[in-house]
Amino acid sequence: MELALEFLLKERYSEKYGLLWGATTSDWGDVQPEHQWGVVLDESSHRAIDIYDNAMFLIAVSNYLSFIQNDQKATARWTGVHQDIKRNIRNHLWDKKNQKFIPHVYLAGSPFPKDFEENEVYYHGGTAVAIQAGVLSREEITVSLAKMVDNVKEAGAPTIGLTVYPPYPKGFFKNPAMGPYSYQNGGDWTWFGGRMIQALIRDGFVEEAYRELLPMIERVQKNNGFYEWYSIDGKPRGSGTFRGSAGVLGRVIEMLIAWAEENKVP
């Protein structure tokens, strides 16, 4: 596990920003704009820093620290890495004025048109994982949830699983699956909306978590399956036995039951 973490620091680390880099994608997605398929890092890729990669790294380091509590030297080292990454996220990716994460910090140019204001795009998934990683304060979580709810209303989307809003315009991704409100470009994914709900429960936003959970549960029952993602008008898309969707919802239910038992809620 330590070798896996070390690889990222050796091969995917920007000394300038003190953060991990990867290929440019939409939020947490794996599809790049420069290629018809776009899932391989190659000469057409534009290297960029985003919140999802770095928030996931924070979570990975936190989990690793729980395994090495008896190793003081390693604990000190990885605690320092965690603190540095978290601080640099705040310094380079958090837009304090707009209370949102910047989509990308580019290391050598953007693949998008120069007149495109990418910072107008709100990343739901990366924000959810950043909250899971403990990057945002309680006040910032409140603002983030309100923005997600507003985005859902403006888009006419089913749930806060909405990937991004507004979506990237048509033609910005060569992969035809990445048109506006499709797949990882504005599709609705329980896989990530459920993580946001988990974070809300953990941080004490239980009423809000229950409210945002209901439409996700209702569509599972309506469509008799755990679908990969949903279109903007609520139509199921992709696999109907997507374990990622089932897993996050199952965990949410476990967390709500535990909260109810702890607080003696009938």
Question: pLDDT tens digits, residue range 251-263?
Answer: 999 999 999 999 9
* Average pLDDT estimate for 173-184: 98
Largest CA distance in the chain: 58
Nearest-angstrom CA–CA distance, 20 and 14:
6
* CATH class belonging to 2-262: mainly alpha
Phi, psi of 159 (to 5 degrees): -150, 180
Nearest-angstrom CA–CA distance, 27 and 126:
6
The reply to whether omega before 166 is within 30° of 0 (cis) is yes
Over the stretch 56-103, which tens digit does the pLDDT of each residue have? Answer: 999 999 999 999 999 999 999 999 999 999 999 999 999 999 999 999
CB 88 within 8 A of CB 17: yes
- The pLDDT score that the predictor gives to residue 136 is 98
Over the stretch 184-203, which tens digit does the pLDDT of each residue have? Answer: 999 999 999 999 999 999 99
Q: Is the pLDDT of residue 266 over 90?
A: no
Q: Is the pLDDT of residue 32 over 90?
A: yes
User: How many CA within 13 A on the CB side of residue 5?
Assistant: 19
Q: How do the domains of the chain map onto residue ranges? A: 2-262
Q: Is the pLDDT of residue 212 over 90?
A: yes
Nearest-angstrom CA–CA distance, 204 and 36:
43
Q: Which residues on neighbouring strands pair with residue 226, listed in sequence order? A: 241
Unique residue bearing structure tokens 């509590």: 69
Distance of alpha carbon 7 from the chain centroid = 22
Q: For residue 145, which of 137, 18, 177, 55 has the smallest C-alpha distance?
A: 137
pTM here is 0.97
The 3-class SS string of the chain reads CHHHHHHHHHHCEECCCCEECEECCCCCCCCCCCCCCCCCCCCCCCEEECHHHHHHHHHHHHHHHHHCCCCHHHHHHHHHHHHHHHHHHHHHCEECCCCEECCCEECCCCCCCCCCCHHHCEEHHHHHHHHHCCCCCHHHHHHHHHHHHHHHHHHCCCCCCECEECCCCCCCCCCHHHCCCECCECCECHHHHHHHHHHHHHCCCHHHHHHHHHHHHHHHHHHCCECCEECCCCCEECCCECHHHHHHHHHHHHHHHHHHHHCCCC
Nearest-angstrom CA–CA distance, 180 and 187:
8
* Average pLDDT estimate for 23-50: 97
Q: For residue 144, which of 93, 81, 99 has the smallest C-alpha distance?
A: 99
